[in-house]
Structure 1
Amino acid sequence: MTTRSTRPEPSTRPDPSTPPAAQAPTATPAPTATPAPTAAPAPTTPPARGPLFLGVRHHGPGSARAVLGALEVRRPAVVLVEGPPEADGILALAGDDGMRPPVALLGHAVDDPGRAAFWPFAEFSPEWVAIRWALAHGSAVRFIDLPATHTLAATDPTWGDGEEDEADQGLRIDPIAELARAAGYDDPERWWEDAVELRGAADPVAPFEALAEAMGALRETYGHGGHARDLVREAYMRLQLRAARKEFGDNGVAVVCGAWHVPALTRATTATADRALLKGLPKVKTEMTWVPWTHRRLARRSGYGAGIDAPGWYGHLFATQDRPIERWMTKVAGLLRDEDTFVSSAHVIEAVRLAETLAAMRGRPLAGLVETTDAVRAVMCDGSDVPLDLVRDRLVVGDVLGEVPEDAPAVPLQRDLAKLQRSLRLKPEAQERELELDLRKENDAARSRLLHRLRLLAVEWGAPVAGRGSTGTFRETWRLRWQPELHVRVAEAGVWGTTVGSAAVAKAEARAQEATALADVTALAEQCLLAGLGAALPVVMTALADRAALDTDVAHLAQALPALARSLRYGDVRATDTTALGEVAAGLAERICVGLPPACTGLDTDAAAEMRGHLDAVHGALPLLPDATGTTERWTGVLRGLAARDTVPGTIRGRAARLLLDEGRLVEEEAARLMGLALSPGTPPADAAAWIEGFVGGASGGGMLLVHDERLLALVDAWLTGVTADAFTDVLPLLRRTFSAYEPGVRRTLGELVARGPAASAASRTDAVAPGFGTALDEERADGVLPVLELILGEIDLVGADR
């Protein structure tokens, strides 16, 4: 997939019109400002002075308020906004009651949905405020940036987001940093906040005129100083500006764009010259729609982010008309109280006072995010950054997820997904959460099928995780989080079908036909059963049978069998017909039993370790097959042969012996005999150490086995003390890896046993035993736990758990 992300314009990349971090004010706004586009009264219109150019920083509350004030003064007949013209047809949806920012325009290539770009808007974005004002006042509103049909056709629709060549990088400047340096500031963001965002003006248009003059001086000093492709974008903007002036007159036009572009739009050029710059641009057929966005994506500096640091803080400043610091501290206190941190009203009062004092000491016009954060850390968090990180995550950034109207354009697959989400009461959320499903319930089973189908379509809304409760086949635990880029994945998956079910079937069939590895097909069969895609199983099973018949590699067969066994197990609770799957699995098991012994001969260390893993996987899968009894008997014979064959690597022989011992098919005396042979003086130390690793290594309870059977511990101890110094250096890493995996308590008990000297046999064990262990089973004490055990099992039966 070649998904292209980020809006190809200043709000999503560090071009000069959107300086680094694109921060809006970190201090309080003017108390009289109002965020609603229709709230301000209409003042007397001043004399006309030509088109109104409003150069802004994207996603800035102060810039947004200034735009609102300027539009109220001039009342233009048309508002031209920096954005893709293809979205003009859906601009009216921005005024719909069902539209809740943050939202984004999504543009994607029709023939390649993975080539996509976003234009995100927050409630405090100047462009959003301008659009809403125009719709509320009956003014025309249009996008005037270079069409997405050209930007998406480029090699990189993000237009070199950090990937431009060195020559181009040398041309780019940060205009805000240059202006801040000229003003004596070492922090460009703080200068912008102090000089622009926090300063009120009697004439709301005056700040924009001053900023345009400053940008013009910078462009004269440094040349163009921006991205080379900005020249093309600005040429297109000038053409659209000419058309609007011709239609609405010079005095009826307002332009809202990045401040860096304003001097270029006011520069005298000819239409012929501008058209020449646009000649020959590549094109691609494009579709546009509105999609929900999140504050977290606004806070990211790359990928799908818009590059601002504190969207939650900015949203608070924009929406709060009075006493924003007091109200912010109250929010912080409420969050900390919800997390069981003691915060009183006195803390809130003191934090507000400290923030205001810090602002005064630092020469700031008003307290900003830096001052409030310092105050919260000192007063409410006792100097700790741990609760402060929670404040940053939940409030400074936030988990706000926008909404778009149901009638917004969307691919059919997206509409079907939205319908399923509503019917299953599975609402997309920006905040990560866990979902426990009981597959015996119809609604939960349908939810599980939907999530599995989306995963097959590469729409990773949810990921299965290990649950805290039952591990039975009837339970599933998912970790869900809806990300804005999933809309692109849905658009890409739309090529497979118009509904989630049909698309998943089509993609499963295509993957089955294209797969070359047997394990890939078995994994796909498992996915189909989990997703309830019975319609795809005939094609998948045909491919599975073909690959299984042709594959002669025992390792491949062993790798494929566990997935089939799990699929057969899932069929019990999901009411899926797995007869054909069981036949294929039985055939694989038969071929593994025949081919495994010769395949384990003559392996090097790495190959032996890999084969040992396959041995464990097959051993766990065979009991799940339909004819488990007959297959298990055959498998027992295979393990006995591997445990006794000298040509098999030690790690596999030791593992085979251990599996037989755990299943009760190898008596303890025989296990001790096999260990004695493996650890005999004639066995090379490296082979003996490998046998020990296979027998007692890993998380299989080998440590407890040595604790309870001192005969085995004595054999290991006697062998280890007899290893020569040179050989000990070679086997030490392997032994250390084996024994370091044990629990601390097990290692401590083994040390105590070795310290006192383990007996050579169980018969010699008298009173000198490890703490907590007896010499034999005390049947009378063991019977005492039976009533409690019956009570526990009875409670489980009442729940009906399938464990």
Structure 2
Amino acid sequence: MTAPLLLGIRHHGPGSARAVRAALEAAAPAAVLIEGPPEGDALLPLAADDGMRPPVALLAHVVDDPGRAAFWPLAGFSPEWVAIRWALDRGVPVRFIDLPAAHTLAPDPERESTADSVADPEWDAAPAARSAAGAPARGATDPEWDVTDPEWDLTGVAAVDPEWDLTAHGTGGGRPGARSPAALRTGTERAGEDPAAADGPEGEGGTDIRIDPLAVLAETAGYDDPERWWEDVIEHRGGRDGGDPLAPFAALAEAMTALRAEYGPGGHRRDLVREAHMRLKLRAARKEFGDAVAVVCGAWHVPALQERTTVSADRALLKGLPKVRTETTWVPWTHRRLARHSGYGAGIDSPGWYAHLFESPDRPVERWLTKAAGLLRDEGLMVSSAHVIEAVRLAGTLAVMRGRPLAGLGETTDAVRAVMCDGSDVPIALIEDRLIVGDALGEVPDSAPAVPLQRDLSRLQKSLRLKPEALEREIGLDLRKETDAAKSRLLHRLRLLSVGWGEPVRTRGSTGTFREGWRLRWEPELHVRVAEAGVWGTTVLAAAVARTRNRAAAATELAEVTALAEECLLAEVTDALPAVLRALAERAALDTDVGRLAEALPALARSLRYGDVRATDTAALATVAAGLAERICVGLPPACSGLDADGADRMRAHLDAVHGAIGLLPGAQELGERWASVLHRLTGRDTVAGVIRGRAARLLLDDGRLDEDAAARLMGLALSAAVAPADAAAWVEGFIGGSSGGGMLLVHDERLLGLVDTWLMSVPAGSFTDVLPLLRRTFSAYEPGVRRTLGELIGRRPGPAAGGRRGAGAAAAGAVPGFGAGLDEDRADAVLPVLRLLLGTPDPVGAAPPAGSGRTARRRADGGAQDNDTDLVGADI
């Protein structure tokens, strides 16, 4: 090598990765420089560790504020990762040369106040969410996420054809309408830009126009889809054929030079600062190793690194940059987080597909379709090897018809849809999620630096066999088993620390307190959450206790403290419980709002319930809960008067919640009597909204504290002609609506059904349209089977049942309310053949044997005695 070798690449491009490996093999540089934060230099040897498995990412965060963080993701098919492994395997020095993370993560008030800064109200509230997408976290100096060259380094090339042309179609020549590279220099034809927009206040030549070089080059070649152009020109050629391995990089450098001449820094002025630092690092490497240095960087930066500048000019650009103290480590990453739809600016559309292309040097289409067939078979679809063969043929035919050098992702997907999925897009969605994007999760060796809290969490994950996985899964825990109880404690403690690895879900088949269900999914940004939580302690338990105490002291709402008490018991952080109880007693004593008291009581009741199953001392909590219930009983009746419709609906929900909670509290019998008296008072108050009076009556009826005659009397009064139809409909909504048994009360109590039916028939026509929306909401919440049964009961009624009494005709005939007065013998006889078949009894003389009764017929023919009715002919059926 007589000059530095500049290898312009596309981040996460497998074609670029193959071409970089070929170029390094051919040039054999004395040192390799990689675009990335220099703080990661000390971590580079870990890339060769046997425990390191990509995808992984460099994580840098501010020591004093771990929420300020950024990721530099690398997959196995990333050119940077290939270059790092090539250098480490051969003992060649390898270093990062991008702008240090100490500058990238430092707050820059001047830049953040400019028009280029991100105007995101959630930027400070959820720093890890932005960091997970490859972006600096809150306050980072680079609001456009160019830590990883999100949009400007998408044009890396890996073709190895010495005659490679940027405008060439994969099989030779551009498509109709393709433009020449000269158009990029003159600016007469811009991709998606008005030529008049080139000049502006930011400088001549459109230096502030934000462009996507990949899209520009694809459109120049006549392609509407940049990813398709990339596949045709790069992925199906790069590193697969012979030729000069350095030629494509020279061609790409020429194209980028033309684009930079036209668009300047492409709308990212901060790139100039980064490139100044890269040039300084390149000069230092050349002094140390000579010109035999290879640089692997985004293709957009190649012209800047070729530019002749002075050391003083580059240092001037870096002068005065803000700086913070940072720490850096390796963390696992996922293919899903490499996808563009995750918000990662340098993301790709199909990381799983690109990984397959990189790992399958031969017959990639056949291998891919075999994977798709295996996935579909695992999901229960009937897919055979013949389907795979036919899909391969169809994909190849589609590629020929579309003028592509080899079947790409579009052709293989179309082939799978047509051959294996019968034209359905439902299985295709599964393939896109599991294969095209993928859920691969990398691994990092234990020797990688980590905060003490992360190490303790990793230890617990291993000891409990609770492995982090990128694929979402559900688990069920039996808290009577020590291991499952320990898993539950860990997951609840992490939730206290805002590390949302697991989300509680309702378990199937059991409502007991000894069972828990969790939905688990490990996301890379959780490493940032763990780093943030590290300020509270060095172990998960210590950190959870400290964080809980802090949250209790800072809480201002009673419901917030009661929810914290529940979480505290679930996580078994008993050392924090005294602080939570003190805060709870203080907030409860000062709060006079019955609605807030009612919101707080259910969480306390659940806490006591879980305390019993987890053998936790909850005596102090029970005292607070009992006092809270007493205050609710005193203040509820006045609070239910004079409410509007929305306020009444909210209070009805509070009524349901308190009713359920009181039954779980210690001394439930005494409290229950007190609560029942409160409900009785509500049912008789005209100033209370109808929906609340109806719900109070229903709760008393369900508890057996109100007999059916009394309930019918209350309903008769509420639905009398003297009551406005809207108020009567509200009472009906409270009595039979919402979560009050799903309408089964009306199915089994004909008297109440008759009352509702009679009232509904008596509503005047002018008022019916006013009450119809409320009634529709009430009855539409019932299950379809319940609605059908109610309709049948109403249809069978002989007439209106005023006052819940039967019609005179029905009473005379002795009919059961809701059913016919007599027996329809013809309809009853229709079931006799089926009964004889099931019981194996003989048919009447002269009757034809029922179909399928072979055993009975054989016995009759043999003259054998018939068995009793327990000898069923199930086999014949």
When normalised by structure 2's length, the TM-score is 0.80
What is the correspondence of 1:4-19 to structure 2 with a 5 Å cutoff? Answer: none
1:508-547 matched pairs, under 5 angstroms: 508-547=548-587
1:194 alignment counterpart = 232
| 1:706-737, Cα deviation, whole Å (9 max, x unpaired) | 23222222222222222223322222211221
Unaligned runs of 5+ in 2: 108-138, 152-199, 824-877
2:288 is the counterpart of 1:247: yes
Contact residue 340 and residue 349 of structure 2 kept, 8 A: yes
**Correspondence for 1:767 among 796, 807, 815:** 815
Give, in whole Å, the separation in 2 of the partners of 1:312 and 1:321: 15
1:292 aligned onto 2:356: no
Counterpart position of 1:615: 655
Contact 1:699 1:742 in 2 (8 A): no
Structure 1 705/161 Cα, relative in aligned 2: closer, same or farther at 3 Å? same
Alpha-carbon deviation of 1:280? 1.4
1:153 aligned residue (106, 111, 122) = 106
One-letter identity of the residue aligned with 1:626? P
> Residue 571 of structure 1: CA displacement?
1.1
User: Which residue of the other structure, out of 485, 491, 506, is the alignment partner of 2:525?
Assistant: 485
One-letter amino acid matched to 2:310: T
C-alpha offsets along residues 184-213 of structure 1, whole Å, 9 cap, x if unaligned? 333333333333343334211111111111
**Displacement of 1:172:** 2.0
- Residues 1:210 and 2:210 aligned together: no
Structure 1's 157 and 166: CA in aligned 2 closer, same or farther, altered over 3 A? farther
User: 206, 211, 233: which is aligned to 2:274?
Assistant: 233
1:337-378 Cα deviation digits (max 9, x unpaired): 112212222221121122222222222222221121121112
Q: Which residue of 1 aligns with 2:414?
A: 374
State the secondary structure of the residue aligned to 2:340: coil
In terms of mean alpha carbon deviation, does 636-645 or 756-765 score higher? Answer: 756-765
- Deviation track 1:531-580 (CA, whole Å, cap 9, x = no partner) reads 00100001001111111111111111111111111111101110100000
Mind listing any 5+ residue stretches in structure 1 that lack a counterpart?
1-47, 776-803
Structure with more contact order per residue of length (Cα contacts < 8 Å, sep ≥ 6) = 1
Contact 1:312 / 1:397 at 8 angstroms: preserved in 2?
yes
Correspondence list, 1:233-382, <5 A: 233-250=274-291, 252-304=292-344, 306-382=346-422
Aligned to 1:51: 4
Tell me how far 1:408 sits from its aligned partner: 0.5
Within 2, Cα distance between the matches of 1:413 and 1:744?
52
Secondary structure at the counterpart of residue 734 of structure 2 = helix
* Whole-angstrom CA distance in 2 between matches of 1:730 and 1:157: 58
Note if contact 1:710-1:758 (Cα within 8 Å) is conserved in structure 2: no
Cα distance, 1:468 vs structure 2: 1.0
* Stretches (4+) displaced over 6 A: 162-169, 772-775
Residue 53 (structure 2) pairs with residue 100 (structure 1): yes
Q: Which has the larger radius of gyration?
A: 2
Compute the displacement of 1:305 (Å).
Answer: 6.7
- Is residue 126 from structure 1 mapped to residue 110 from structure 2 by the alignment? no
* Residue identity in the other structure for 1:177: A
Flag the 1:683–1:226 CA change in 2: closer, same or farther, 3 A.
closer
Aligned match of 1:650: 690
Alignment deviations for residues 563-608 of structure 1 (CA, whole Å, 9 cap, x no partner): 1111111011101000000011111111111111111122222111
Q: Is the 8 A contact 1:432 1:480 kept in 2?
A: yes
Equivalence for 1:673: 713
Q: Which of the residues 115, 120, 140 maps onto 2:93?
A: 140
Shift of 1:391: 1.6
Q: Which residue of 1 aligns with 2:39?
A: 86
Q: Secondary structure at the match of 1:624?
A: coil
Matched, 1:412 2:365: no
Describe the SS at the equivalent of 1:341: coil
Which AA in structure 2 matches 1:521?
A: V
Contact residue 657 and residue 695 of structure 1 kept, 8 A? yes
| 1:386 counterpart (416, 426, 430) | 426
Equivalent position to 1:551, from 573, 576, 591: 591
Counterpart code for 1:293: W
Stretch deviating more after TM superposition (224-233 or 478-487) = 224-233
Q: 2:481 aligns with which of 441, 447, 469?
A: 441
> Does 671-680 or 94-103 show the bigger shift?
671-680
Deviations 1:99-158 (A, max 9, x none): 000000111111111111110000000000000001111111111111111111144455
Quick one: distance in 2 between partners of 1:648 and 1:301?
52
TM-score, reference length from structure 1: 0.88
Go from structure 1 to structure 2 and tell me whether the alpha carbon gap of 1:488 and 1:340 turns closer, same or farther (over 3 Å shift): same
Tell me by how many angstroms 1:59 deviates. Answer: 0.7
Task: Single out whichever of 322-331 and 648-657 deviates more from structure 2.
Answer: 322-331
Counterpart AA for 1:617: A
Rounded to whole Å, the distance in 1 between the matches of 2:665 and 2:820 is 40
Displacement, 1:222? 3.1
1:468-492 CA-to-partner distances (Å, cap 9, x unmatched) read 1211000000000000010011011
- Does the 8 A contact of 2:815 with 2:821 survive in 1? no
User: Percent identity between the aligned chains?
Assistant: 74
Q: Distance in 2 between matches of 1:374 and 1:188?
A: 19
Structure 1 residues 173 and 305: CA distance shift in structure 2, 3 A: closer
Q: Deviations over 1:473-521 (max 9, x none)?
A: 0000000000001001101111111111011111110111111111111
Q: Is residue 693 of structure 1 aligned with residue 693 of structure 2? A: no
Displacement of 1:306 after TM fit? Answer: 4.3
